[in-house]
């Protein structure tokens, strides 16, 4: 049986504009105002790859290599300036607690937003909500606004959201860690369960142990370029040689 391609990235490049001070004498300074010049910075350069159903892919590279930008292209947050990204399936992205949890909201608000984001019908949200609260162990704090929850409670809620809403593809810009060993074991078990269910995940991380534990393949980026895309052990060896 042929493996289904869920993500196709075809010759994708992404640019951002950067402003810097114009130090030239003819730079247009008038009456003490500083002028600026705009330069185009290539963040990703001509990336081509496919990701198949059931694969767990790590994305590694030094700071500034384009890892988070690449993930946001897959999520549809950014659009490529050149090339095309094609995604066949629902995506649940995680880009940090500030993106997921509004301080004035409550747990049910966060669940509603994420459930609708992946296209789940409203009638399923109550069931999902109960699963998330049970997983997060926050039964006594559901009436509290997010801003009043401790850091540990927020982390448990975030992990409950990510790991209990059904999607085809999960995107992680770093998997949140918890200092509670029993809860962390529950998180790892749930990640393994998602893998067994044939879900697909792409994980950006600086934790090589985490990458090795969860990912069967890796993407190595350097200064916006795709250096290699291969099995995890091979990519980690290349990364350690850079």
pLDDT: is 234 or 38 the higher one? 234
Residues 172 and 161 in one domain: no
Task: State whether 48 and 82 are in the same domain.
Answer: yes
Statement to judge: residues 72 and 12 lie in one domain: yes
Residues 159, 192, single domain; the answer is no
Distance (Å) of CA 199 to CA 4, 52, 57, 155, 231:
12, 10, 11, 22, 18
Residue after which a domain boundary falls, among 144, 165, 186: 165
**Nearest partner of 61 among 201, 207, 203, 222, judged by Cα:** 222
Q: Is the pLDDT of residue 228 over 90?
A: yes
* CATH number reported for the structural domain that contains residue 220 in this entry: 3.40.50.300
pLDDT of residue 26: 53
Residue 136 within any structural domain of the chain: yes
Average pLDDT over every residue of 58-82: 95
* Domain end residue (candidates: 119, 147, 165): 165
Two tokens, residue 51: 């990701």
For the chain, the domain total comes to 2
pTM of the predicted protein model: 0.86
pLDDT value for 226: 97
pLDDT of res. 98? 67
Can you tell me the distance from the alpha carbon of 216 to that of 192, in angstroms, rounded to the nearest whole number?
A: 12
d(CA 29, CA 35): 6
Structure tokens that stand for 32 in this block: 């003490």
Residue 58 pLDDT > 90: yes
| CA 99 and chain centroid, separation | 11
Q: Is residue 195 part of a domain?
A: yes
Contact criterion met (CB below 8 Å) for 100 and 110:
yes
pLDDT at 222 over 90: yes
Query: DSSP string of 61-75?
Result: -STTSSHHHHHHHHH
Q: Which of 33, 67, 63, 30 is nearest to 47 (CA)?
A: 67
**Assigned domain for 76 exists:** yes
Q: What's the pLDDT score for residue 111?
A: 82
> What is the domain range of residue 72?
1-22+36-89+168-242
Q: Is 94 part of a structural domain of the chain?
A: no
Higher-scoring residue by pLDDT: 111, 63: 63
Asked whether residue 181 falls in the same domain as residue 223, the answer is yes
Q: For 84-107, what is each residue's pLDDT tens digit?
A: 999 999 999 988 776 778 888 888
**Residue 80 shares a structural domain with residue 1:** yes
Query: Which sign, positive or negative, has the C-alpha torsion 47, 48, 53, 57?
Result: negative
Q: From residue 198, how far is each of 49, 52, 68, 114, 223 by CA, in Å?
A: 20, 10, 24, 21, 32
Give start and end residues of each alpha helix (H) in 101-180: 107-117, 125-136, 151-164
Among residues 113, 132, 165, which one ends one of the domains?
165
Q: Does 31 fall in a domain?
A: no
- Model confidence at 31, in pLDDT bands (50, 70, 90)? low
Q: Please give the C-alpha separations between residue 9 and each of 44, 83, 124, 226, 228, in angstroms, as whole numbers.
A: 12, 8, 32, 12, 14
| 75 & 103 share domain | no
If asked whether residues 188 and 224 sit together in one domain, one would say yes
Instruction: Tell me, yes or no, whether 63 and 172 share the same domain.
Output: yes
Whether 77 has a pLDDT exceeding 60, the answer reads yes
Q: Looking at the domain assignment, is residue 80 inside a domain?
A: yes
- Asked if the structure places residue 220 within a domain, the reply is yes
Residue 50: both structure tokens together:
């496919």
* Shared-domain flag, residues 135 and 179: no
Cβ atoms of 135 and 169 closer than 8 Å: no
> Is the confidence at residue 69, as pLDDT, over 80?
yes
User: Is residue 225 within 8 Å of 236, Cβ to Cβ?
Assistant: no
- Say yes or no: 220 and 152 in one domain: no
> What are the residues facing 82 on neighbouring strands?
13
Residue 125 confidence (pLDDT): 80
Residue 35, pLDDT score: 65
The verdict on 84 and 172 lying in the same domain is: yes
């Amino acid at each position: 049986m042929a493996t289904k391609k869920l993500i196709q990235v075809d010759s994708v490049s992404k640019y951002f504009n950067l402003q810097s001070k114009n130090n030239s004498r003819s730079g247009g300074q008038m009456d003490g105002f500083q002028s600026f010049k705009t330069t185009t910075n290539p963040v990703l350069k001509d990336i081509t790859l496919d990701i198949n159903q059931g694969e767990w892919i790590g994305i590694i590279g030094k700071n500034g290599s384009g890892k988070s930008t690449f993930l946001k292209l897959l999520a549809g947050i950014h659009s490529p300036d050149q090339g095309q990204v094609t995604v066949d399936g629902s995506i649940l992205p995680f880009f940090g607690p500030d993106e997921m949890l509004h301080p004035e909201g409550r747990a049910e608000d966060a669940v509603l937003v994420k459930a609708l984001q992946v296209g789940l019908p409203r009638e399923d949200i109550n069931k999902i909500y109960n699963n998330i609260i049970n997983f997060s162990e926050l039964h006594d704090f559901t009436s509290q606004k997010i801003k009043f929850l401790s850091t540990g409670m927020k982390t448990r809620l975030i992990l409950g959201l990510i790991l209990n809403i059904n999607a085809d593809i999960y995107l992680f810009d770093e998997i949140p860690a918890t200092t509670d060993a029993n809860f962390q074991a529950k998180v790892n078990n749930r990640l393994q369960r998602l893998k067994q269910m044939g879900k697909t995940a792409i994980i950006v991380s600086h934790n090589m142990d985490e990458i090795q534990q969860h990912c069967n393949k890796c993407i190595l980026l350097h200064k916006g370029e795709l250096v290699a895309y291969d099995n995890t052990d091979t990519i980690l060896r290349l990364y350690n040689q850079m």
